[in-house]
Chain A
Amino acid sequence: MTPIIETKSLTKTFGGNGVAVRALRGIDLTVERGEFLALIGPSGSGKSTLMAILGCLDSPTTGTYAFDGERVDGLSGADLARIRNQKIGFVFQLYNLLPKASVLRNVELPMLYAGVPHKERRRRATELLERVGIPEKAKQLPSALSGGQRQRVAIARALANQPVMLLADEPTGALDSKTGHEVLEVFSELHRQGNTILIVTHDLDIASLASRQVEIHDGRIAGSTEKVA
């Protein structure tokens, strides 16, 4: 079975004219299906850049990247958008929900861009909200929800198109430790159900939940720790 993620000597350089910043200096990373991987590292280490490339939000400067068996380095913006839409579910630190749209519509949005019919969207979004435990909030605006609830909405949205991988960027960064743990519990549960999950964090406690930790330092992989089950 092909791995979900396979990168070879991935580099990313920002700027260019003399003041180039080399954010990534050759990343070789393979993530298998069903893995729960934590990317850790201090700020400025390049882990956010790596996450952006792995999430197909950005393209690498050099190197190759195969996602779900498909070469994605050098793909056009529209093709990357299609992959993001259908294969990757994003969960961000600050939720990134549309503030004026209802919870239900936020969850429906990825399906809108995937061309799912209106009724089907509604049905699946309602189902997803039940799955993350907040079906009663469907009609409300995100601003009426607590941080933990908002992150659940974000998770429901990430799951909308049944992606092959969930990508979470500091998903508990804005939450207190109790709700943070509840949200992490959702991720663990999703992992147990067989989802591939990639979490970016600087919190070692959170990272310890993952089945593997990869540490980034100065744009390189500094170490990889497998959790002994």
Chain B
Amino acid sequence: MKYWPRKMLRKAGLLLVLLALVYQGWAQNPAELPGDEATFRRVSNRLLCQCGCNYMVLSCNHLDCSSATYIRNTIRASLAEGMTEDAIVASFVEEYGPKILPEPPRQGFSWMAWIMPFAALVLGGGAVSYVLWLWKWKPAEDNAGVTPAESAQPTPEHDASSALVEKYRAQIDEELEKE
């Protein structure tokens, strides 16, 4: 705490509080698009262009792209007919198959796409926790035959400089206590 110029921090804090109060009522969400255009953008952002560009239909900017142009025109026509967003997307899935969706559908085998990354994270987290537990509580059993001196051989380059920093840290702590 004492490393920070207190007066400056207090002023900054006050300023932030004032800003928050002044702008609370004023803050608004970004300007919204007209209904049809917003719906068109949402739908065309739920479909993948089929020209091989890997972009959303909304984002594909290939000149005269036959795929994006056709899909965009069809979306506009479908919206004009009063179809809902989900119905339009479903009609494209029927026409092209699931490959037109930019992300795997949450059904059947495709669930694996969603589950695996988080499963890996959870399993990895479990493994890391187990390793930490081993290192913390069972060092003697797992490290038989290997002494810290054998194992930890910090490089000369590492030593002096990091030791200096540690020393500075300690020195700062002492100075703070004095203050």
Report whether chain A binds chain B.
no
> Which A residues form the contact surface with B (CB < 8 A)?
none
